[in-house]
Amino acid sequence: STGVMATGTDALLNSSLGFFDDKAMAQYVPAAVHERFKACLISGDDTSPEDQKLIADGMFTWARQLGAVDFAHWFFPMRGGSGAVGGMIGALKMDTLIDLEWGSKSVIKPFKACLPHERLFQGETDGSSFPNGGLRQTHTAAAFTTWDRSSPPFVLDKVLRIPCAFVTHYGKCIDDKTPLLRSADAIKVQGLRLLKAIGIGTEAATVYSYLGWEQEFFVVDAELYKKRPD
């Protein structure tokens, strides 16, 4: 009735609370693991299985506190002929935050609530269900989702959503995210090479891209061009 929204429900004030970003990771993951994770983002090295487990455990605790009951690998497959532009139609590979108690001696294994680290960092879906540039053999029809570690997972509608790249059995991209990541990596490699060659910022360990170069060409009548004040 007063026209003032309570702080707890203000979407703008709480817009970042549902992200497992650097701040959240520092709170839920051991400090040494957090530092190694950030170092891997710069170097491109794999996160060790031991660190993967600790990160998954921390993310599970955080997500459950926000009410998550499921998790999903969120990716953007190329949708040939769908009419969607720029990967507007995303895809989710859904799972529930449970797994079997593999250590149990029972024939029928009981369930436990958890986020298995193997399924956080990598998943598998049916690649043949998406445009793939042509027919492939049955044993190569699978496609894999991998967490893009530079994109923080977030909780929405009780689902922990994990931003992923999407590649085929042979590593070919069939999504809109992988080309972007590979382009950013290429700019990083050549950018560091350029800095070393010109002797500026030679101590830099990585290069971040915050904008895309845009090339535009206009054909303008010469007389109209001469009338421009600039």
User: Could you give the CA distance from residue 176 to residue 179 in angstroms, rounded to a whole number?
Assistant: 6
What percentage of the chain has pLDDT greater than the value 70? 83
Instruction: Encode pLDDT of 91-109 as tens digits.
Output: 899 999 999 998 899 999 9
Instruction: Encode pLDDT of 146-190 as tens digits.
Output: 999 999 999 998 999 999 999 988 888 888 899 989 999 999 999
Q: Given the structure tokens 């979407």, which residue do they identify?
A: 11
Closest C-alpha to 20, from 73, 56, 52: 56
Instruction: Note the pTM of the prediction, 2 decimals.
Output: 0.80
CB 170 within 8 Å of CB 176: no
Instruction: Encode pLDDT of 188-222 as tens digits.
Output: 999 999 999 999 999 999 998 887 677 777 888 99
Supply angle C-alpha 58, 177, 22, rounded to 5. Answer: 30
